[in-house]
Amino acid sequence: MTGIEHDPTIRPLHGTQELELFNRLPFVLNHEFAVDLDEGRRRTDWMWVALDGDRILARLAFWRRRREDPTPFLLDVLDVDDTDEDLDRVAVLTDLLRAAGAEVLGPDGSWPEYLRFVDAGWRDLPGTRRAVDERMEAVARVGGVPFVERLRYRWRAADTPVPSGSGRLRFRGIRDEAEILSLMARALEGTLDGHDRADLAGASPEQVARANFDEEFARYATPRSWWRIATLDGGEPVGFVVPGRNAKHPIIGYIAVLPEHRGHGYIDDLLAEGTRVLAEEGGETYAHAATDLGNVPMARAFDRAGYTTVSGVVSMVWP
C-alpha cells in the first residue's frame, strides 16, 4: 500500500491498556472512550486499528446503547492519519472496515448506521471536506449510501436566558403512556425527520411511535413528569415536548407540533417550555438538541431560542 513498506496490521484492541494507542488519532470523542468502556457502551473487541509497526494509520469503533446489547447500534468512529499525504487513506479505511465488519458483524450481520460529527460548515473547509469525503468513500466501498445530515445545537444558561413563551398555550404533564404514544403517531404525519420517514416506509405511524418510545424515551433516567403537552385554552392538544437526559447530556429529546396546528409558531412555545423544564426543574445549565439539515422550521426555532450550532452530523446506511 502506498506510503508504507508492508501491508498494515489490522486488529482489535487487546484491552483497555491500548486506549492510549487508539487515541493517537485526534477526534472530538476521544475523551469519552474510557467512560464508554467502563459503562458498557463500547467493547475493546469492537475498537479496531490499522497499524504500521507501532504507528496507527487508521481506526474504527462501534457503539451500543446498553451493556447488554449483543450487536452495535452505531459505527461512530472512523479515522485515518490525515497528515500522511503518501498514504492511500481511502484504501486503508476500506480494508479496516472489511476486516472489522467480518469479525464483529459476521458474514450475515447487518451494518449499523455510520455517523460522523463534523463542523457545521464542513463543505466550505477544504481540509475538513476532504476528510469527510474520504471516509464516506470508504464506507461506500463496503456498501453504505448517504442517508441524512443533521445539525447539533446547544443552549447554555451562562450565555442565554431561558427563552420565553408567548403565553398563547397551556402546558400540562402527560396523562399516561398511551396518550403520548397517540400524539407521537399523529405528529408523524408530514414529518421532515429523515429517520422517521425511512421507518414509515415499512411500518405504520403507531409502530414507528412505539419503536421510538421503547428505544429512546422509555430509557431516560429523568422523570416523565418533565414531559409536557401543549394545549389551547379549551384543552385541545397542540403539540408536545420531551425534555430529559440521555446517557450523556440533558436534551430536548422530541418536540413536535400536531399537523393541524402547524404554521402558527407554536414550536417556539414548546421549545421554550422544554428548555425551562430542564433549567428550572432539572437544574441543568445546558441542553443539547438536534434536527435534520432539511428541517428548516426546527433549525430556525433553535436559532430564535438562543441555541447555537455546535456541529453537524453526516450519516450513511446500508440498504
Q: What is the pLDDT of residue 3?
A: 56
Find out whether 41 and 32 touch, Cβ atoms under 8 Å.
no
Fold for domain 9-143?
Aminopeptidase (3.40.630)
pLDDT in tens, 162-199: 999 999 999 999 999 999 999 999 999 999 999 999 99
Q: What is the pLDDT of residue 292?
A: 96
Angle between helices 296-304 and 266-276 (to 10 degrees): 50
**Assessment of whether the complete model's pTM goes beyond 0.85:** yes
Q: ∠ CA(207), CA(230), CA(155), 5° rounding?
A: 90
The three-point CA angle 245-211-231 to 5° equals: 65
Residue 316: closest CA among 178, 115, 172, 174 = 115
Residue 99 main-chain phi, psi, to 5 deg: -65, -50
CB-based contacts of 202, cutoff 8 Å, min separation 6:
none
Give the full edge-to-edge strand order of the sheet including 55-63.
9-12, 47-52, 55-63, 74-80, 113-118, 308-317, 145-156, 286-292, 250-257, 237-245, 228-231, 170-172
Query: What's the CA gap between 257 and 150, in Å, rounded?
Result: 20
Q: Of the candidates 285, 215, 214, which has an alpha carbon nearest to the alpha carbon of residue 250?
A: 285
Helix/strand/coil for 7: coil
CATH 3.90.550.10 fits 170-310, yes or no: no
In this prediction, residue 107 carries a pLDDT of 80
Inter-residue contact 67 to 40 (CB < 8 Å): yes
pLDDT computed for residue 106 by the predictor: 86
Q: Tell me, what's the pLDDT at 5? A: 61
Q: Of the candidates 85, 88, 95, which has an alpha carbon nearest to the alpha carbon of residue 49?
A: 95
201-248 pLDDT tens trace: 999 999 999 999 999 999 898 999 999 999 999 999 999 999 999 878
Measured between alpha carbons, how far is 112 from 71 in angstroms, rounded to an integer? 9
Contact 256/192 with Cβ under 8 angstroms? no
Query: Are 92 and 50 contacting, i.e. CB atoms less than 8 angstroms apart?
Result: yes
Q: Where in the chain is the domain with CATH 3.40.630.30?
A: 170-310
- Please work out, in degrees rounded to the nearest 5, the angle formed at the alpha carbon of residue 236 by the alpha carbons of 279 and 250: 20
Residues of the chain under the 70 pLDDT cut:
1-6
Helix-helix angle 89-104:126-141, to 10 degrees: 40
